Amino acid sequence: MTLKLIDNPVPWPDGARCAVAITFDIDTDSILHLDFPDKAENMLSANSFLKYDEVAIPRILKVYAHYGIKQTFFYPAWCMERYPHLVDAILEGGHEIAAHGYLHENPNDESRDRQEYWLHPQVHRIKRVTAQDPRGRGGPAAPGRGGGVVLCF
């Protein structure tokens, strides 16, 4: 006997029993540059560990192309400018890009004014690089942990 936990289940198309959202954050080395702006370039070990954009993301895109999967990539605007080849590959694969901070700054640690400082250039640069509006926003940290207001657009 099947245990029914939901009285009003969502009627998914084609007999599907659930929906799954797969998303990735492409933060690459943004956090190093945020936390260590003067020496991030020389932190070779950390940089090599964080360069998954060169290996992992292209492989993930191949897997998605093979299975016909589309997904949202959450991408700090600074990373999109620094590594534009991935932006092209993501968009060519039919995926969408959502905002993920400018330099992966944590909005919970920022005042409203500082959040606005980061938000406006983030949106502007995403539009410039992708020729599209951001498809959403995933904060670089869980919203509200700091108890303050987290700005959205």
Told to check if 25 binds Zn ion by CB under 5 A, we report yes
Task: Please identify, among the stretches 26-34, 90-98, 122-130, 145-153, the one whose residues bind Zn ion according to the rule CB under 5 A.
Answer: 26-34
Told to check if 105 binds Zn ion by CB under 5 A, we report no
Q: Where are the beta strands (DSSP E) in 49-101?
A: 72-75, 96-99
Q: Which residue, 25 or 96, is less far from Zn ion as judged by CB? A: 25
Cβ-contact 140, 106 below 8 angstroms: yes
What is the tally of helices (H) and strands (E) in the chain? Answer: 6, 3
Task: Please identify, among the stretches 20-28, 44-52, 106-114, 118-126, the one whose residues bind Zn ion according to the rule CB under 5 A.
Answer: 20-28
Out of 27, 29, 105, 110, the only residue in the binding site for Zn ion (CB under 5 A) is: 27
Tokens 């799954």, residue located: 20
Dist. CA 68–CA 97, nearest whole Å = 17
Tokens 């983030």, residue located: 122
Q: Which residue, 25 or 65, is less far from Zn ion as judged by CB? A: 25
- Contact positions vs Zn ion (CB under 5 A): 25, 27, 140
